[in-house]
Amino acid sequence: MKFKSNKVLRDVLIILCVSIFLGIVINIVHPHGVKIKFTRPESVYANDALLAKRSQSSNKSSQDNSDKEEIVDLSEPAVVSTQQVIEMMTEKNAILVDARDYLLYRDEKIPSSINIPFEQLDLYKSILDTLPTNQWLVCYCDGPPCDLGELLAFELMDRGFPMVAIYEEGINAWKTLGNAVISEQGD
């Protein structure tokens, strides 16, 4: 009996290895094969005019429907740069949302940001219910390779928030560029 189970195991392993090898070869040779990359693609930032137009149009009264056709419905969150985040915060057109764990948020955060940890999202339903739909929600985390900000941004869009952006560079780039961070350690 032992002989037969070893033979079956060996045959399964051979079939598995051959399948993997053939799959890789076919993927490489096929003109529409899946491109395998181990680096993030270069970010394409949102157009400043798009950010401004959506912010301005959301502040108009509901009676003025003349610009509705011009508003672009985003199918995914916009990606914003550090400079765009600074401008949006200066103009008070955005709420920064830190997607990291509360302990990391408490240690250091971008001023005026709120904390909604992606991994504990269901515990923050009361905060989600108070977020405006007529203001940009800019989600961030530490920056690459952290993707919590991106995951939270997509989740917020799925929950019906139309103006969501991702600050991919995150708090690490924010600090590197000399921008202020604050801490709640003293509290």
Q: Tell me: the pLDDT tens digits for 109-157? A: 999 999 999 999 999 999 999 999 889 999 999 999 899 999 999 999 9
* Residue 77 DSSP label: -
How far apart (Å, rounded) are the C-alpha atoms in residues 76 and 153? 8
Residue 48 tokens, joined? 């400043």
Report if residue 5 sits inside a domain: yes
pTM: 0.71
Q: Nearest to residue 119, comparing CAs of 141, 138, 135, 136?
A: 141
Do 60 and 148 sit in the same domain of this protein? yes
Confidence of residue 85 (pLDDT cuts 50, 70, 90): very high
Extract the runs of DSSP E, i.e. beta strands, from 93-147.
94-98, 114-115, 136-140
CATH code, domain carrying 128: 3.40.250.10
| Structural domains in the chain (count) | 2
Range of the domain at 172: 48-176
Give the pLDDT confidence score for residue 45 in this predicted structure.
82
- Give the pLDDT confidence of 2-56 residue by residue, as tens digits: 567 888 999 999 999 999 999 888 888 888 777 766 666 677 788 887 777 555 5
Structure tokens at 159: 């929950």
Tell me what pLDDT residue 46 has: 85
